[in-house]
Amino acid sequence: MKKFLSLILVTGSLFVLGCGKTPATGIDSNSSVSELTGQAVVERKSYANTTDAFTLQYPTTRVFKENVFWSSVVFFTPMNTWDTVSENIGIMKKSLDKEYTLDEYYAIMKPELTKLVPEFTEVSNESIKINDVNAQKLIYKGTEWSKKLQWEQVYLIKNKAVYIITYTALEDTFNQFNQTLDEMIATLEIK
């Protein structure tokens, strides 16, 4: 379990730091949904992962790459000329060796985070529901490779597997994109 947690943290760091360029897009579904957010209309597409049995909606401004950084899929923000990294959202599924509650999983994960993330600071930790499934939403900050980063991890346990959705960004751009994560998570369905 500890090896898996280390992998999750390394993965989160790689998401943001290993992505100087946005990878080519892949499209899993033809369906498109329009959503009104404030004054702007955000076009969305459906993404389906048959291997890990989940679907969700994502903004068409995002591109994704499957099976990278030990994740099922990673969605990348568009790069601007001034960007040094691409903020991103990665989703991974890991089978568990036994049944865990969300509290038990958090009790195992938090000490590992404090060891692996320099200057680890928990910002918030709350229970949420995603389509009637209990989940945990953890936001934390830290330093990786001299960059101040912030993560939001949402994890849920279903069918003796943990699904971990990780948003990784620079601390100063975190708030700029985390609403997109929350909107994507609201559409997550696990089969």
Q: What is the pLDDT of residue 41?
A: 60
pLDDT at 56 over 60: yes
Task: Give the integer Cα–Cα distance in Å for 151 and 30.
Answer: 31
| pLDDT value, residue 24 | 39
Judge whether residue 68 has pLDDT over 70.
yes
Range of lowest pLDDT (90-104, 114-128, 131-145, 165-179): 165-179
More confidently predicted of 25 and 101: 101
Tokens of 42: 């955000």
Tell me what pLDDT residue 90 has. 94
CA distance 184 to 139: 16
Q: Tell me the one-letter amino acid at 166.
A: T
Cβ within 8 Å of residue 137, ≥6 positions away: 124, 125, 126, 127, 128, 152, 153, 154
Separation of alpha carbons 37 and 56, rounded Å: 17
DSSP helix/strand/coil, 140: strand
CATH match of 2-190 with 3.10.180.10: no
| pLDDT tens-digit readout, 132-168 | 999 999 999 999 888 899 999 999 999 899 999 999 9
